[in-house]
């Protein structure tokens, strides 16, 4: 059995729900064969989210870590390729913090690549009939903060663990009064299960185009 830790976030920016946590719980309720899924809800707070992530990793001792966050406005499930070492808040986190140009790990590398097979994960979601793509930016908000913290933890302390980050669209109930793309939570949960299976089964990524011109 491959032990997989799935994390999602609490609601933020005035929302009453966060599809990342909804989908993580739904995915874990129906684990794929061969995978043991554990979950943790992270606070959408700089610093505290990193501490909560470390506590969940210590508790569950996963082989894979798949962190998930909401990216309102994106139309598909996006598997992140790279985390960068900077916090730069356009909006405050849930605790009101708005760091600007602050390193996540002082003296740490400028960036880390995901240790998941990002293109194989995207291909698996698409094969299941769901929209997905590679993303080359996880932003500079708490999602990237957690992604970089996870990558740094793996690189410095847990070389046997692999992990990465996935952004998901709004849930339909979040866009009733605004023209934004959305995806049902059940579909997102299915995509997360496909990503977990692909990550567990592929240590080498597919060599297919997944880049962007801008």
Catalytic residues: 80, 143, 167
Q: Which residues have C-beta within 8 Å of that of residue 79, sequence separation ≥ 6?
A: 114, 116, 118, 121, 122, 125, 132, 133, 134, 135, 164, 165, 166, 195
Is there a contact between 78 and 183 (Cβ–Cβ < 8 Å)?
no
Closest CA to 23 of 177, 166, 126, 136: 166
Q: How far apart are CA 67 and CA 65, in angstroms?
A: 6
DSSP string over 54-118: HHHHHHH--SEEEEEEE-TT--SEEEE-EEES-B--SS--TT-----SB-SSTT--SEEE-SS-H
């Amino acid at each position: 059995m491959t032990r997989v830790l799935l994390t999602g976030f609490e609601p933020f920016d005035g929302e009453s729900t966060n599809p990342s946590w909804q989908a993580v719980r739904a995915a874990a309720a129906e684990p794929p064969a061969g995978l043991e899924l554990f979950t943790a809800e992270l606070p959408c707070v700089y610093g505290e989210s990193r501490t909560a992530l470390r506590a969940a990793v210590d508790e569950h001792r996963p082989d894979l870590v798949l962190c998930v966050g909401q990216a309102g406005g994106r139309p598909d499930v996006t598997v992140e390729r790279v985390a960068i070492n900077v916090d730069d808040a356009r909006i405050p986190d849930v605790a009101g913090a708005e760091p600007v140009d602050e390193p996540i790990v002082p003296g740490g590398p400028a960036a880390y690549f995901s240790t998941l097979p990002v293109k194989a994960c995207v291909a698996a979601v698409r094969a299941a009939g769901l929209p997905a793509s590679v993303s080359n930016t996880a932003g500079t908000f708490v999602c990237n903060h957690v992604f970089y913290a996870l990558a740094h933890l793996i690189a410095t302390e847990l070389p046997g663990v692999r992990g990465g980050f996935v952004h998901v669209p709004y849930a339909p109930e979040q866009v009733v009064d605004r023209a934004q793309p959305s995806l049902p939570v059940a579909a997102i949960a299915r995509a997360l299960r496909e990503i977990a299976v692909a990550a567990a089964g592929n240590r080498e990524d597919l060599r297919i185009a997944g880049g962007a011109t801008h």
